[in-house]
Chains A and B, each alone.
Chain A
Amino acid sequence: MNDATPFGCQSAPVLRERGQHEVFCGLTGIVWLHRKMQDAFFLVVGSRTCAHLLQSAAGVMIFAEPRFGTAILEEGDLAGLKDANDELDREVARLLTRRPDIRQLFLVGSCPSEVIKLDLARAAERLTQVHAPHVRVLNYSGSGIETTFTQGEDACLAAMVPGLPSTDAANLLLVGALPDVVEDQARTLLAGLGIDHVQVLPGRRADQDPAVGPNTRYALLQPFLGDTAAALDGRGATRIAAPFPFGEEGTTAWLRAVAEAFGIDEATFARVTDAPRARARRAVAAAAETLAGKRITFLPDSQLELPLARFLSRECGMEPVEIGTPYLHAGLMGPELALLPQGARLSEGQDVDRQLDRVRADRPDLTVCGMGLANPLESEGLTTKWAIELVFTPVHFYEQAGDLAALFARPLRRKRILTDPAPLLLAENTPGVRGLAPASARE
């Protein structure tokens, strides 16, 4: 981006599509949520497909005896609903006997359980009574018919809000599950600013749940938390509007919004942020050399696409071609849209075949997409960055800004390394030499 690039996409048209979506459902959120909430167990009520999805998404993690599982519906459960409730009670009782360390149990709805209208909310109430006070049972839906990927976290946190303790204190609530290292950095920065009444949703353990009330202010750490925000508003808390803390600029803007809400003076702000800001800028600069001037397209996945496009365009000099997002929450994204360069195509939802036609026509230097599309696009000669890594890797705040930029620079650097500048000429008369020629030359 040069100095003449105009910014501000608040009134840009958004291409809204529907058709085949190549995305994960909300159940996938369990894979990172259960790491964060150390005494919670996530019990999906669903089909073999749900169990298979979690196994595929969790990869190797599934073999570490994780705190999630699937109660697989069988033919008998579909026959009569009363049966299903008894079955569920039995499975939950078995589970809790085996795992006495569990304090919170989430009954997670899936497509099958939603379609047969299994009332998991009532089941959660019933089971809470049975297993109180040791275990609290909650319910939310991570079904594909209702949620896309990271929306599963939103649904989970929103389900926790009504049960949070009340307070009249003027506390600050940080909302969104971040890796512990990032959460600690955020707390340190805020403490440096003199804001020390900070709590995080979700807490690491059930007894660390934050309190909420009319004097609570909250700031979102993740962009996909619309329902949670609405639930917190419903409890009288006030949202601090800010861009999301990606990159030096995003983190500074986020911290500044919080600092202003708490009346922190500019000198203090500068004293706390100047050094990490300089560090972040230096770290980003290393990767920006690779990224500057490159064109990038985001396919919809996590709702992180807009803030990441903003970071990559403003701090790394990339040019967004199309920014796809599964869902565009205009209210939460306002500050991000104001910072985005004009001219990028914004799209919400997906018709994957038509969107891939656009990618092929645009031929961006880098395409951010899911793992079902990454290798096929690579084999078409496009360079990709698979999106799911951005949800698992620590990428927020100052110290991770360089890592975040490097995630995008790495596939481009790799492509450069692997491109053989001077392939050897193969002798025409050597027997068996055809076996060495690349596939394209053989056909």
Chain B
Amino acid sequence: MKLTVWTYEGPPHVGAMRVATGMEGLHYVLHAPQGDTYADLLFTMIERRGKRPPVTYTTFQARDLGADTATLFRDACLAAYERFKPEALIVGASCTAELIQDDPGGLAERLGLPVPVIALELPSYSRKELFGTDETFYQLARRLATPCARTPEVSCNILGPTGLGFRHRDDVVEVTKLLDAMGIAVNVVAPMGARPSDLTRLGAAHFNVLLYPEHGEAAARWLEREHGQPYTRTIPIGTRATRAFVAEVAEMAGVAPRLDTGDLRQPWWSASVDSTYLTGKRVFVFGDATHAMAAAKVARDEMGFEVCGLGCYNREFARPVRALARDMGVEATITDDYLEVERAIAAAAPEMILGTQMERHIGKRLGIPCAVISAPVHVQDFPARHSPQMGVEGANVLFDTWVHPLVMGLEEHLLTMFREDFEFSDAAGPSHHGGHAPGGEAGGPAPQTPRDISAGKKEENALDIVWHALAEKELRKIPFFVRGKARRNTESFAAERGVAEITVETLYEAKAHYAR
């Protein structure tokens, strides 16, 4: 048993729902108790879909348990087929139905429906949502993809985008543009937008573009093995990765690498003098492995940040994340426990967090600005505007999104110059994004949380360090957005040397010590 408040991932059947909802003409019959329909609202509210997810729940109740839940399942299957007439059916059990062992696959098989019925084995008590998407898509591809001749022109499939995917909608548009510029046609995009009948044509493509390893790697591997289709390893997030992706694709397709950079503004924006202040900003990166690794590379190589922490919540991809973290000289944080992430962030004391919705709130609590780079995300990260992460426009979007929460160069300069002015005083806060000291806001009831469940024990080595009045006054002169770090650095500097009183001298000695 493990006590949890936040979960980065839902149960694996939610992953299967993401595949089914992303597709057309596929229906999912889920053996599940009343209440599991809550997952529908992830799609209708967060992703703002105007259609119900194509999922039928058997809704068994306590009084059914002694009797015949298997009949209930069969009836639901038949009714769903009659009503929705899908091209294929996937069937499976949610966590509770897994315990009553009705075998949805076998039951559905025996109904003799005239369409393919694909049984999903999704172990709810050991695996999670991302396993669910990957496994479901793999089973669909395995069952439906038939041997077929390659298309006469060079073509590829785009694998991995699903329902409820972070920016999947716009990434597909951007990647299609990249391929189009090289004269490569897209055979099938799957799961998102594909019908089961489209999956039968997967084998006609010359190779596969794997956009999200979390959702499509098993299928890509199987297609490589069974249909001889190589798949791309580069994730085109950021300018450098986009160039590398174009090179990789060109080689795979046997065409010349071409990239239309007419709209690529990120490199110049990053090179322009106002971005100089970004140099060495310490960022902590956390998310799903694919987005976290891509973001860390962009942060270091294209934005000039210093990556002071890197991690992911999906253990399946821990190895490459660890390797990259080592390469960047930091220790990887591989965990699905947000309290551990919070501790790692607090210890790294970054100036910015690139993370998920959870890290956004951790940032709010700690007063650190944050930009969202990965699922899980909330409704505001399913924007109406075109907002990819991948390709040329994706690079532009990343620059704006990450820099926005920071205080930009000119603004920072002005704040320092005029910090005694009332508009720039501490109370005014650094900007409208994050970074505000919590509390004291008017309006809205304050949360009645008497104690912080995540509060660690009192710092062991919190010696009784005393600040001299003059040192304290000097500290107040440091801009408020770095003052916290200065205080912390000075105190640990003092503690390391057994100094109990901090003078102005100590303050500046510490500053020199930590200078970079």
Interface flags, A95-111, vs B, CB<8A=1, else 0: 10011110000000001
Classify chain A's interface size: 35 or more
Closest Cβ of chain A to B359, distance in Å, is 11
- Contact residue among A27, A43, A77, A373 (Cβ-Cβ distance under 8 Å from B35): A27
- Once A374-B44, A376-B50 are accepted as A-B contacts, the answer to whether A143 and B33 lie under 8 Å apart by CB is yes
Decide yes or no whether A148 CB sits under 8 A from chain B: yes
Main secondary structure on chain A at its contact with chain B? helix
Closest Cβ of chain B to A281, distance in Å, is 29
Query: Which residue from chain B places its CB closest to the CB of A19 in the assembled complex?
Result: B59
Closest Cβ of chain A to B409, distance in Å, is 31
Interface flags, A285-298, vs B, CB<8A=1, else 0: 00000000000000
Chain B contacts of A70 at CB under 8 A? 3-5
Decide yes or no whether B261 CB sits under 8 A from chain A: no
Please tell me which stretch of B266-274, B366-374, B442-450 contacts chain A, meaning at least 4 of its Cβ atoms lie within 8 angstroms of it.
B442-450
Chain B contacts of A371 at CB under 8 A? 40-41, 44-45
- A67–B35 alpha-carbon span in the complex (Å): 22
- Contact residue among A20, A43, A49, A94 (Cβ-Cβ distance under 8 Å from B11): A49
- A17–B128 alpha-carbon span in the complex (Å): 34
Chain B contacts of A66 at CB under 8 A? 5, 447, 449
Q: Which of B33, B83, B123 has the most chain A CB within a 10 Å cutoff?
A: B33
Contact yes or no, B448 A52, CB < 8 A:
no
Chain B contacts of A51 at CB under 8 A? 4-5, 7
Contact yes or no, B449 A144, CB < 8 A:
no
Contact yes or no, A23 B37, CB < 8 A:
yes
Please tell me which stretch of A54-62, A130-138, A214-222, A408-416 contacts chain B, meaning at least 4 of its Cβ atoms lie within 8 angstroms of it.
A54-62
Contact yes or no, A55 B60, CB < 8 A:
no
Contact yes or no, B453 A52, CB < 8 A:
no
Q: Which of B3, B13, B65, B123 has the most chain A CB within a 10 Å cutoff?
A: B3
Contact yes or no, B99 A78, CB < 8 A:
yes
Decide yes or no whether B2 CB sits under 8 A from chain A: yes
CB-CB contacts below 8 Å: A4-48 with B: 18-28, 35, 38, 43, 45, 47-48
Contact yes or no, B95 A49, CB < 8 A:
yes
Decide yes or no whether A274 CB sits under 8 A from chain B: no
Decide yes or no whether B1 CB sits under 8 A from chain A: yes
Chain A contacts of B358 at CB under 8 A? 63
Chain B contacts of A71 at CB under 8 A? 1-4
Contact yes or no, B37 A372, CB < 8 A:
yes
- A23–B10 alpha-carbon span in the complex (Å): 19
Query: Which residue from chain A places its CB closest to the CB of B362 in the assembled complex?
Result: A63
Decide yes or no whether B6 CB sits under 8 A from chain A: yes
Contact yes or no, B61 A375, CB < 8 A:
no
Decide yes or no whether B233 CB sits under 8 A from chain A: no
Contact yes or no, A372 B41, CB < 8 A:
yes
Decide yes or no whether A53 CB sits under 8 A from chain B: yes
Contact yes or no, A64 B449, CB < 8 A:
yes
- A52–B452 alpha-carbon span in the complex (Å): 21
Chain B contacts of A52 at CB under 8 A? 7, 10-11, 14, 39
Closest Cβ of chain A to B464, distance in Å, is 25
A-B contact pairs, 21 of them (CB 8 A): A20-B37, A20-B57, A25-B33, A25-B36, A43-B3, A49-B14, A52-B10, A56-B39, A56-B41, A64-B447, A65-B453, A67-B449, A69-B4, A70-B4, A70-B5, A72-B2, A73-B125, A144-B33, A372-B44, A373-B40, A373-B52
